[in-house]
Amino acid sequence: MSDAKPVRFETEGDVGVIVVDYPPVNALGPGVSEGIIEGIAKFNADPAIRAMVLIGAGRSFIAGADIRGFGTDRKRLPLGSRTYDAMDASAKPIVAAIHGFALGGGLENAMGCHYRIASRAAKVGLPEVLIGILPGGGGTQRLPRLVGPKVALDMIVSGRHVPADEAHALGIVDELVENDATLRAGAVAFARRAADAQAAGGTLPRVRDRQDKLREAKDDPGMFDAMRKSIARRARNQKAPYNCILAVEAACTLTFDEGMKREQELFEELVNSDEARALRYAFFAEREVARIPGLPKGTAIREVKTAAVVGAGTMGGGIAMSFADFGYPVRLMDATEEGLAKGMQRIRANYETSVKRGSLAADEMERRFARIQPAKDYTDIADADVVVEAVFEEMGVKKPVFAKLDEVMKPGALLLSNTSALDIDAIAAVTKRPQDVAGAHFFSPANVMKLLEVVRGARTAPDTLASVMQMGKRIGKLSVVAGNTDGFVANRSRAPFNSEMVILLEEGALPEQVDKVMVDFGYPMGPFAVGDLAGLDIGYAGRKRRAAANPNYRKLPIADRLVEMGRYGQKTGAGWYRYEKGDRTPHPDPEVARIIKEVSAEMGVAQRQFTDQEILRRLLFSSVNEACKIIEEGFAYRAVDVDVMWLHGFGFPRYRGGLLFWADGIGARAVYDQIASWHQQYGERWAPSKLLRDIAEAGGKLTDAKAPA
Residues in contact with ligand 3HC by CB under 6 A are: 24-25, 27, 63-68, 101, 103-105, 108, 127-128, 131, 135-137, 139, 287
Q: 108, 286, 453, 632: which one is catalytic?
A: 108
Query: Closer CB to ligand 3HC, residue 66 or residue 385?
Result: 66
Helix (H, G, I), strand (E, B) or coil at 17: strand
Closest distance between ligand 3HC and the C-beta of residue 276, in Å?
10
Nearest 5°: the CA angle 595, 601, 602 is 90
Closest distance between ligand 3HC and the C-beta of residue 25, in Å?
5
Beta strands 478-483; 101-103: pairing state: unpaired
Query: Closer CB to ligand 3HC, residue 279 or residue 702?
Result: 279
Q: 10, 38, 128, 598: which one is catalytic?
A: 128
Nearest 5°: the CA angle 584, 589, 590 is 170
Active site residue 128: yes
Closest distance between ligand 3HC and the C-beta of residue 313, in Å?
32
Query: Closer CB to ligand 3HC, residue 131 or residue 195?
Result: 131
Burial 543-552 (b: 16+ CB within 10 A, else e): bebbeeeeee
Closest distance between ligand 3HC and the C-beta of residue 666, in Å?
27
Closest distance between ligand 3HC and the C-beta of residue 127, in Å?
4
Q: Which residues pair with 333 in a beta bridge?
A: 310, 375
**What are the φ and ψ backbone dihedral angles of 239, each rounded to 5 degrees?**
-110, -35
For 313, 345, 350, 529, the CA distances from 336, given in Å and listed in that order, are 11, 14, 21, 33
For 206, 217, 339, the CA distances from 255, given in Å and listed in that order, are 15, 14, 65
Active site residue 34: no
Query: Closer CB to ligand 3HC, residue 108 or residue 389?
Result: 108
Q: Are 644 and 658 in contact (CB under 8 A)?
A: yes
Query: Closer CB to ligand 3HC, residue 24 or residue 358?
Result: 24
Closest distance between ligand 3HC and the C-beta of residue 358, in Å?
25
Give me the helix-helix angle, 139-147 and 240-253, nearest 10°. Answer: 60
Query: Closer CB to ligand 3HC, residue 142 or residue 433?
Result: 142
Q: DSSP secondary structure string, 236-269?
A: TT-SHHHHHHHHHHHHHHS-HHHHHHHHHHHHHH
Picking from 417, 410, 421, 408, the residue whose alpha carbon sits closest to that of residue 438 is 417
Which runs of consecutive H residues, i.e. helices, occur in 121-214? 139-147, 149-158, 164-170, 183-199
Query: Closer CB to ligand 3HC, residue 136 or residue 144?
Result: 136
Q: Lay out the sheet containing 94-98: strands in order across.
A: 7-12, 15-20, 51-56, 94-98, 115-119, 175-177
Q: Is 163 exposed, middle or buried (0-12, 13-18, 19+ CB in 10 A)?
A: middle
Query: Closer CB to ligand 3HC, residue 71 or residue 588?
Result: 71
Picking from 32, 52, 55, 31, the residue whose alpha carbon sits closest to that of residue 42 is 52
Which stretches does DSSP call E strand in 353-404? 372-375, 386-389
Q: What's the CA gap between 25 and 16, in Å, rounded? A: 22
Closest distance between ligand 3HC and the C-beta of residue 138, in Å?
8
Q: What's the CA gap between 326 and 37, in Å, rounded? A: 41
Closest distance between ligand 3HC and the C-beta of residue 128, in Å?
5
Closest distance between ligand 3HC and the C-beta of residue 287, in Å?
4
Q: Are 446 and 425 in contact (CB under 8 A)?
A: no
Beta strands 15-20; 7-12: pairing state: antiparallel
Query: Closer CB to ligand 3HC, residue 192 or residue 280?
Result: 280
For 55, 95, 163, the CA distances from 184, given in Å and listed in that order, are 8, 10, 19
List active site positions: 108, 128
